[in-house]
Structure 1
């Protein structure tokens, strides 16, 4: 089934490889005591970590606190990262998810995700600038409806959809993050999309 949210094209292969190499070099420099390298790593990945925390909490202040905890945990466990097992960003996403799980267990609260309206708007930013007011209103309403549908998904389906359709991770990367077989990853994403489509249909949303 197609994604509910349109996905932008991923970074070209050579650019992605360059990023992986740069991250690996920075990690090695950090382990050698280079403070500037650590600052650069934090700078490169702050937005990614914050966005994941924000998607799962829906609270800016809490997301900032959790992001700081993530980087503290990353700093303490940096020596366990192995570039041969995957990219640094994927490893950091795993650390972030594990911390979020720990956080949920501590607070014993079921969190909801942040609005998808911004994601939809960003994906179609060039087109949206030329939309008529009535079209903009329809897009805004769709964003609210998709958000409501996402909130109704179970946590395991919700996180799979977020990692695939919002974070644009590949199946193999999501497998590393969730620590489940790739078949399970694909199944959760597919089930999540189907369930979202069913919920949206009940809300009166029809495919265009």
Structure 2
């Protein structure tokens, strides 16, 4: 059965009727976006993998119990679950001593890109690295909005609901994030190509 032509809701219905391949397709469609947003919050590869697995265990459990009721909004629902699990993980880890990170991860390693020649690939990689460092340097609330908006493709309405702030607050945080990133680019004379 070719499930690639079905939308998310149809895949969920197929999965619930016993077609495991439907869930594999659903996972395949959204895993990069969900994993990337988790990683950008945790900044730890192994922690992001753990949370990612927990997210999909919770999704499967919710679907099987018949508690899913977000027709047409699967990705936003999954992103909300991953966000909440990241927040929970952060709260748990805040109480524990932190061990220094030795592994680096670049979000753009998991994203697919068109074929470039070696020079274009190097330039793109360097630019992505610079942007990632700028985002990492933002205050937590601003970084959160940038990640949810640009990496998770969420609307400001969805971001406001997820982070439990007003839309104006979410918009303001994005505005200040962009202002701060521009200041950093000017102050450090960073060239983004």
1:100–1:122 distance in 2 versus 1, CA, 3 Å: same
Partner of 2:69: 82
Give the TM-score, by structure 2 length.
0.73
1:173–1:204 distance in 2 versus 1, CA, 3 Å: same
Partner of 1:129: 117
Partner of 1:96: 82
Deviation at 1:206, TM superposition (A): 6.2
Which residue among 152, 155, 164 is the counterpart of 2:149?
164
1:191–1:51 distance in 2 versus 1, CA, 3 Å: same
Q: More deviation in 41-50 or 90-99?
A: 41-50
Aligned length: 181
- Residue by residue over 1:58-97, the C-alpha shift from the partner in whole angstroms, topping out at 9 and shown as x without a partner, is 333322221101101112233333235x611011100000
1:178–1:32 distance in 2 versus 1, CA, 3 Å: farther
Deviation at 1:26, TM superposition (A): 2.4
- Residue by residue over 1:1-26, the C-alpha shift from the partner in whole angstroms, topping out at 9 and shown as x without a partner, is xxxxxxxxxxxxxxxxxx8x721122
**Contact preservation (8 Å) 2:39, 2:45:** yes
Secondary structure of the equivalent of 1:187?
helix
Give the TM-score, by structure 1 length.
0.68
Which residue among 106, 114, 132 is the counterpart of 2:92?
106
Distance (Å, rounded) in 2 between the aligned partners of 1:43 and 1:33: 18
RMSD: 3.5
**Contact preservation (8 Å) 1:94, 1:176:** no
Q: Which has the higher contact order (CA 8 A, sep 6+)?
A: 1
From the two aligned structures, give the one with the greater helix fraction: 1
Matched, 1:194 2:183: no
